[in-house]
Amino acid sequence: MNTKIILYILVGLVILSLVVLTFFPGIVHAWKDSGRSGQDICKPAPGYTEESWKEHMGHHPNIYKDCLT
């Protein structure tokens, strides 16, 4: 009985993670960039164009405030 509950919880967490990553694909880059400093975070991440990276940074002004000026 306990193994079924644990299995349901794990499957639920995987599904929840996939849903979050589907609706917020840039969240991984924002999380990785939150600990970086300097001009490194202002450069486009792999898979982003210059325009899409600026749009991404606009969604996270607390992380990219120095890049948006």
- In angstroms, the CA 37 to CA 67 distance is 11
Return the domain boundaries, the chain: 2-58
Per residue in 9-55, pLDDT (tens digit) is 999 999 999 998 888 877 776 676 666 666 677 888 788 898 988 88
pLDDT level of residue 61 (50, 70, 90 thresholds): confident
Q: Give residue 47's pLDDT.
A: 83
43: left (phi over 0), alpha (psi -120 to 50) or beta: beta
Q: Give residue 2's pLDDT.
A: 87
Average pLDDT over residues 56-64: 83
pTM over 0.85: no
Q: Give residue 63's pLDDT.
A: 77
